[in-house]
Amino acid sequence: MRKRKIPQVVVERMAVYLRILNEMDTDEPDRYISSQDLGDLAGVGAAQVRKDLALFGEFGKQGVGYQVRLLQDELKRIMNVDRPINVGIIGVGELGTALARYNLRRSADDKAYPFRMAALFDNNPAKTGRRVESLEIFSAEEVVDKVKEYRIKLMMITVPASAAQTATDLSIKAGIKAILNFAPVKLIVPPQVKLLQSDVSLQLHHLAFYL
């Protein structure tokens, strides 16, 4: 399976399916869920669920559905969250600090939460050397070294728009392959790097439709 060939909307739905299964978290070996029920919870049709999952393998049984625990394990493996993933943040302003704390709290509350905050970065010398809870803040110049040292695989960018491309270029130079950008600006990344934009303005537009 070539990951890049899977449409982004399918990957988004896979993440939603996994969240639903995680919320059902069960050790009962005989708990099953139908594609209809999984679809209802995810807001898509049963046929879409079957089509999405079929891209990755044969997980269900005709007339019985999917074994919850088994499908959960398979989706974790497919989504690469069957192991901890170290995360960094460049930009320790209010948003960066809030995201760091959020992830620390999630990790503490839920042992199965795969994303581990590893280090923070900021180009303001007044911030470097300080900490957000247990997390050290390093300078932007240290990104390449610390990404390697802390085995950071995923970077969140929470710097102002004007600094976001520089922060992105540094992350890529450090070997980062997946970036979540919160700065309201379009970033340029090479094809081997996956970039997602976290855009509150898009969600506000979406909501405004219903007013």
> Does 80 contact its own copies by CB under 8 A?
yes
**How far is it, in rounded angstroms, from Cα 146 to Cα 119?**
8
Interface of this chain with its own copies, residues 19 to 38, rule: CB under 8 A? 19
**Letter string b/e over residues 59-94, b meaning 16 or more CB atoms within 10 A of that residue's CB:** bbeeeebbbbbebbebbbebeebeeeebbbbbbbee
**How far is it, in rounded angstroms, from Cα 162 to Cα 23?**
39
Binder to its own copies among 46, 85, 144, 189 (CB under 8 A)?
Answer: 85
Binding mask 105-124 for its own copies (x = CB under 8 A): -x------xxx---------
Tally helices (H) and strands (E) across the chain. 8, 10
Q: What are phi and psi of 153, to 5 degrees?
A: -110, -20
Closer Cβ to its own copies, 57 or 93, answer by number? 93
Closer Cβ to its own copies, 110 or 141, answer by number? 110
> Does 93 contact its own copies by CB under 8 A?
yes
**Are the C-beta atoms of 98 and 91 separated by less than 8 Å?**
no
> Does 70 contact its own copies by CB under 8 A?
no
> Does 184 contact its own copies by CB under 8 A?
yes
What is the DSSP track for 83-122?
A: S-EEEEEE--SHHHHHHHHHHHHHHHH-TT--EEEEEEEE
> Does 16 contact its own copies by CB under 8 A?
yes
> Does 78 contact its own copies by CB under 8 A?
yes
> Does 42 contact its own copies by CB under 8 A?
no
Using CB under 8 A, list all residues that contact its own copies: 3-4, 6, 8, 11-12, 14-16, 18-19, 43, 78-81, 85, 87, 93-95, 97-99, 101-103, 106, 113-115, 153-154, 177-180, 184, 194, 196, 198, 200-211
